[in-house]
Amino acid sequence: MKVMYQSTRSANAKVTASQAILKGLAEDGGLFVPDKIPALDVSLDAVAKMNYQEMAYEVMKLFFTDFTEDELKTCINRAYDSKFDTETIAPLVDKAGAYYLELFHGATIAFKDMALSILPHLLTTSAKKNQITNEIVILTATSGDTGKAALAGFADVEGTSIIVFYPKNGVSAIQERQMVTQKGSNTKVVGITGNFDDAQNGVKAMFNNKELARRMNEKGYQFSSANSINIGRLVPQVVYYVYAYTRLLGQGVIQKDEPVNFVVPTGNFGNILAAFYAKNMGIPVGKLICASNENKVLFDFFETGVYDRNREFILTSSPSMDILISSNLERLIYRIAGEDAQATADMMNALSGTGKYTLTPEMKAQLTDFVGGWASEDKTAVEIKRVYEESGYVMDTHTAVASAVYKDYREKTGDTTKTVIASTASPYKFGTSVMAAIDSKYKGMDDFALIDELCKVSGVKIPQAVEEIRSAPVLHDTVCETEDMQKTVESILGM
């Protein structure tokens, strides 16, 4: 069954998976969505016996139907290799009454590695399939983790270059250090004076600039995206939800057809949307619990049916969730609008105009799969300390937001369904906040001294990704105003 892709904002001609991956964003500003979500065509019992790579193929082949078996398996095997520090790729850890799905065992110790390890291979394969001769310029905005994972994935990949914009004062010290020390002759990192939403809006504006695209083409360049707006980022994320469910099934923790809840710390909505896609493929998922930090625009959306970004932007200890415009929510809006592209476009236009839109009662009634929750900074810190003291398990701030939201949800509802929490980053990435939560005596300590203390406290070896940036030289120090992002790109590309 061939799956094609269409924009959320118009009924334009459909494109293949490889074309959607290459474009990143549709020409009308919409996001590419599959024209159908395919059902898993192997039994869950069979999948439970597969390793991560085998299972990734069974999921991705259903979405990327214009890739040959050899092309797709080559991409998968190159992505999920020894750069992950555990053979299982995504371990499930049973601690403090939940199963933590550790998605941070890749090269940059964050869940973005799960998709950004494979995206460069999908993209270069797509370019060959479509006879693209231009250099592909990966243009990306990051709230902390996507940037480093994309840089690591695309560094020195032939036929590509990558430019990453990040909020200069809106990421952790380790996140920034990881990016500005990135090697690779084709990599550029730029800090901006605004926040993540400003960076994301600037990137989207460049994608939608037809005159810029024309001039780039003349110079032999074309844009693509490594953000989760790219369907080549989203589909690989579906895999680990199928993986988590079938591991529990294979271990006898759950019985056949028994539902499992997923709790996902959420900013741009891509990660939890992948869980929703897994459910629609036939995985028995109960509730999808959407966990927000103090930037709780998504919590308010699920409570009221109104998406309203007109609020104070708060810098928190979970910066990858410091987002007020959740781009991937557009894919869900399109679905609950009955795949009405015009209705979706009207809502997105309202969001960019007045900063808000309201669901119809019929649309809101289709959100029963989702539950919203949020955790304050204090509650996040308390949760890190609670889980550590109860079980010895140390988690990062984003995972702690999800864990705190799950604790509240369970107490409020009495729901005892077995639950998986997406653990999206290593605690080493946010050592300052994590260690201060465990014991106030660590407040004010040097970032790298804290890393050593975290190693003692957690009993977990310091990841190579952290060790290698201790003494690495800063290679990227460009900072620009938000309004100068396009000028900066043109300068980098020699235009």
- Give the whole-number percent of the chain exceeding pLDDT 70: 100
Average model confidence (pLDDT) for the chain?
Answer: 94
The predicted pLDDT at position 27 comes to 87
Question: Does residue 112 have an active-site annotation?
Answer: yes
The predicted pLDDT at position 88 comes to 95
- pLDDT tens-digit readout, 441-480: 988 888 788 899 999 999 999 998 888 888 899 999 999 9
The pTM score is 0.91
Contact 189, 478 (CB under 8 A): yes
Helix 397-413 crosses helix 377-391 at what angle (to 10 degrees)? 90
Amino acid at 246: T
Neighbouring CB atoms inside 10 A of 336's CB total: 18
- In angstroms, how far is the first alpha carbon of the chain from the final one? 43
How many residues in the chain?
495
Specify the long-range contacts of residues 84-89, CB closer than 8 Å, at least 24 apart. 84/113, 84/117, 85/463, 85/464, 88/51, 88/52, 89/52, 89/114, 89/243
- pLDDT tens-digit readout, 314-343: 999 998 898 899 999 999 999 999 999 999
The single residue of 23, 112, 129, 296 carrying the catalytic annotation is: 112
Q: Is the pLDDT confidence value at 359 over 80?
A: yes
Contact 290, 298 (CB under 8 A): yes
Q: What DSSP designation does 484 have?
A: G
493 class by beta-carbon count within 10 Å (0-12 exposed, 13-18 middle, 19+ buried): middle
Q: Coil, strand, or helix at residue 290?
A: strand
The predicted pLDDT at position 11 comes to 83
Alpha helices in 4-68 (DSSP H): 17-23, 44-48, 52-63
pLDDT band at residue 60 under the 50/70/90 scheme: very high
Alpha helices in 256-319 (DSSP H): 270-280, 297-304
- pLDDT tens-digit readout, 406-415: 999 999 999 9
Least confident residue range of 174-188, 226-240, 296-310, 444-458? 444-458
Can you tell me the distance from the alpha carbon of 307 to that of 304, in angstroms, rounded to the nearest whole number? 8
Calculate Rg over the CA atoms of the chain: 21
Q: Coil, strand, or helix at residue 269?
A: coil
Mean pLDDT, residues 160-169 taken together: 94
